[in-house]
Structure 1
């Protein structure tokens, strides 16, 4: 600052630079050197005295030379020192800048880390909220399933019993059939929603068995060929000639996937054709379902597999449900989820106005040597051989207990009832010296102790070793890891199918059933006449073979809505077959699918014989 005060402003930069620093350094050094050299000169000059008068000039010249050399060396050393100082200062300034920048970057990084932590915490909270919402949804669906199935059990069950009443007038029987069909339709909607919830919660497992692949796809193609023909569409099959006869697959789930996808194609195509392509190579099955329908907009393709994305009149989106019905918008969602569950892939390509193509790829290993599929045998159980068996029904709903009693007593069972878990335990304690039940049908949701705790207590106290079946409207409460020995096949879901319940009792008690060779829809008193009805009926009063085959496929799949839809179709197109369809409706309302299969097979044989 003192130098700045002595010099003009224009020289400050030079002074602050390296030259100014060097001059400032060299000025005292030069002064010091000059003083030293002058002092040495004076001393040497005095030492020479008068005798050195001639040498004084040489001495002065030597001192000046030494001064110049020392000044030059000092200048070089001084310049090096100045440069070193400047380099150190520049390095320090750069280090300070880098340190400051690093500090600022560290602050920013810390802020970003804090922001990421906050975002992660928010995501975790959102995930926890979504998980809680998903669990709440599953609980809600589980509760809703139970609450809907309980009254449906009564509606469908008593409709079945009314249909069995020989005193019921014909016009009332038709009304009962309408009630039954309405209940079945509602049940199918519930099943679709439950399927979605089961898959989302991971409670769906695959039952992989050997299936007759070629026969199954031919039957499905026959079914949809008729449905497409009814709409004036062409149904084209393009099957690889090398398709295997048998594969390992979950037949029910595979059928469900194909029925949902092909059904949507037929449903939303108003003109043109629907094509089903299938090939199988290297254990992989490739399915393509292509239609000439209105197509799907590009913006809607991402939503097509979302739940409840229902179709519109123009087909901008496709929804679930069977052909010719509005459905719930779950068909494609469930098909996609089942495809993923089976380890496969489902993709869709569509051009608005030109049609849609679905492609499904599944691993279906070919079953070669020793492959066989046993055909189900039709049987209608009217009783069993041996002593009369006791069955204890434990259910807090009186109508459900009474329904099971009326289902079982005509077959020869003695039914005892308990309205709660405590009542069941008291009943067993009171009859220890008497005859104990041979089997127990246990509801789960009961006041007081529930079904699981009741089973634990009766086992722990040794009150009964009888086999126990869970008869519940809760489709979710299948605790296969339970501690009371209940297996997967010990569950009977409400609404109760009589044949399913008798099947379980037959397995659990090793019963030998007394069966009738041919089923009938009415009371036992009329059975001999009805058993030969198809044989005596003219073929003109039987449906066309194509309709019979389509109906047989629906029975084989066990699809109630499809069965009733085809019966309605036959009633509308072949009125002369009203007696046949009425009898099959009665069997369908009682879920006697095996009996229906026998009737349809007999009708087909009669048709073939009449055209032979």
Structure 2
């Protein structure tokens, strides 16, 4: 009839109570130590106790990754400074524009990008497709950062790469299992140190050697290429692989407190900075990566293979102002701090994505911690197979899929929800309220992703291959509203009423914190996470079911019937 209750109960706060109020025990798995973090579901108001600034700092803490420096160095060496910087800026604009509506929805309605995607053109099961795109981003970036840390351990301590890969992977697992509570503290403690170690030596280097700036601006790459838009787009294609980074930031932004008249300015500042604002810092790091690579090649006379490795970039930078042993020590410390900050986020967000995929596919929920281990294991395998050596190709290919997904969801929010009114403005995510599959988002991702990938591999000629990411964005923005118009928006909502008489939002438009008791688990959940059950209670009374319990309801007997077909 229903999933075993021991799969669903969690004892974070206290035992559940009957009725609409009282202590809450969050339904998130079987862990007795609070290691789950509201995966699969709405982040309840009682749990969201952080300030807007704290949430934004946690979201931006994951932007400490060093892949940006390697990406910048790689495209700089290949295309020259002007083309590389142009590509970085083009990518930054596209990422900011597409990320903003997603960040707003996550913060306003306290749901992650998978839940937003469900109600923004893909359907309850359709968003599994995009989860696969996202989870691949988390382990590709994890493997990249882990490889960079292993390079640092080898350069500083002589640790073999294979052992460095293992160390950089396994050390992340115990840091991630406790979710947002520990990650928030980790990022708040390490952000100031990271910023100082990252930017102060660069400023000192430029002051000591001002001629390095001119050398940087004049660098034309290994093949001495001139300025061209095609080269800029090739560079942008690599940078655009990071489009999916907003999904990781959203896993933090969903814990934003309610927006009120009192915190309105702080709330918006946090959403912009912690959401699309990440790309400002990301683009800055990529340009610095170009600068350091050019400095190493043109001023220090080092090879390009060393110039694209962040640990060597930092050691070369530090050695101009301090003894070699200290430079090496600080470079290794910076690499380790950066790797921990980003790979805790990669492992955490990847575990959420795997959880969403598994639970909806198999109607079981073994707990998020198992998927932390799975994601780290896949990342470790990629490191051992030396994915870092083909990083530029992997990221360029992946960018087409990431753009297809993100731009489809962004187009559905901006165009279909607000301009056309064909998509429901409130992001619905609960089983039974949505159709399993929505052709709007699915057709957009298949067409934009499929055509742009074919273009990337030269199917339409080498002349347009460089522009495949741009075509992915354009096709997604065109197909998403077109599909909604053709289908008349019929495949968004399976039901228009969730069977609960209580309002969903308060006077300020925030999700309310009224509580209802889940008929399956007995837990007390907040109203936005609940839906009426199709089964009446023992005395014929109306019952309610939490979104997670309904996800794991194998029989489907609690799922409300669909509305009559629209004529």
Give the TM-score taking structure 2 as reference length.
0.22
- Please identify which structure carries the higher helix content: 2
Give the TM-score taking structure 1 as reference length.
0.21
- Please identify which structure carries the higher strand content: 1
Larger Rg: 1
Larger relative contact order (Cα-Cα within 8 Å, sequence gap ≥ 6)? 2
